[in-house]
Amino acid sequence: MNVYCGIDWAERHHDVALVDDIGTQLAKRRITDDAAGYRVLLELLAEHGDTAEDPIPVAIETSHGLLVAALRTGARQIYAVNPLSAARYRDRHSVSRKKSDPGDALVLANILRTDIAAHRPLPADSDLARAITVLARAQQDAVWHRQQLVNQVRSLLKTFFPAALEAFQGKQHGLARPDARAVLAAAPTPARAEKFSLPQFQAALRRAGRVRGLDAEARRLKEIFRGDYARQPQAVEDAMGHQLSALIAQLDAACHAADDLAKVVEESFREHPDAEVLLSFPGLGVQLGARVLAEIGDDRSRFADARALKAYAGSAPITRASGRKKFVGRRFIKNDRLINAGFLWAFAALTSSPGADAHYRRRRQAGDWHAQAQRHLFNRLLGQLFHCLQAQQLFDEHHAFTSSPADLAVTA
């Protein structure tokens, strides 16, 4: 007799339901979200035939957390069911639209009983790959947060301090530069900035870690900050200066966090066996390669073929057909982090791979927009990555792109 388990996850407690092959509910229990609750759950599973050799599969609406970590020990299959999918299954059991936590746990258990083949278990990634996933996503979030703060600082400066925008906006990394943060922290208003002397500008630049061209940069900043610009009333300007100081403090912390996480990501990524294969691809550096590895994992059985990986990434088109109507377009249900990394990867590959550049230009000549051509290039690179990881081979430019006569014609 096969047994299936469903768990309705909540913040403080979880409802558990067990069913057999014919849908008979064998047990139900509410457990707490702590080590004692996890032990109760494992004991309940053991009472109904759970063993290390033949573990009971579990369906739950989340893929992370301590409960999932406790269940993933051994060879147990954990199915993270999308809450929207679970809601659709709920209508099969009750037309009255009633809902309860124990009822949801029962629905999840019945999903495995009836449609286990239609759902994928969590991948059996190594601990190192899962650690890279945590770090790479945290670093990506830190970069996004840093950019949000940069946008807020830029918007604020535009309303009362245009000289700062002229001083730093055109430089690499713009307002996120260490010298920009140091100068704006020391002189957050136009009134204070125009009174700064050359030694004060030089001291601020030294605090930012700059050692070259101090005199020339200090003179440039002094000339810009003493230029003729529109000003807010003094009281309003001082208030905005306090706001700017608070944003600069947050931006400084976000920049340090992103840099620190980037170092840890690089250390962990280079330890992974797949790092050499990923870094052999044009356009993939350490940080971008870590993001790709974080999203696809290292479980070789996770994707049946390259098409499955492309669909997961959202690079492959999707077809919607009904009767005489047919539409082929981009996917909206996808791994957003992976497709984000894919566009960066495809863009970087244009300058480091003649074949990738030729492929992109051919798609543009065929009428694709820039984003369409980039997505098509990412789709091709992803298929090549799948093959290389499966075979543990490094990227080969000749075999990757010279198979297409159209590509060769463009490069010629």
* pLDDT per residue as tens digits for the range 310-339: 999 999 888 888 888 888 888 888 999 999
CA distance 319 to 309: 17
Gyration radius from the chain CA atoms: 28
Residue 409 has pLDDT above 70, yes or no: no
* pLDDT per residue as tens digits for the range 154-186: 999 999 999 999 999 888 888 999 999 999 999
Q: CB count, 10 Å around CB of 360?
A: 23
Q: How high is the mean pLDDT of the chain?
A: 91
At residue 405 the predicted structure's pLDDT band, cuts being 50, 70 and 90, is: low
Quote the pTM value: 0.86
CA distance 33 to 45: 17
Per-residue pLDDT, 411: 40
CA distance 355 to 344: 17
Question: 25: which strand partners?
Answer: 19
Per-residue pLDDT, 87: 86
Q: Please, where are the H alpha helices in 187-315? A: 190-194, 198-207, 214-225, 234-271, 275-279, 286-296, 306-313
Report the topology of domain 4-118.
Nucleotidyltransferase; domain 5 (3.30.420)
CA distance 224 to 167: 7
Q: Are strands 13-19 and 4-8 parallel, antiparallel or unpaired?
A: antiparallel
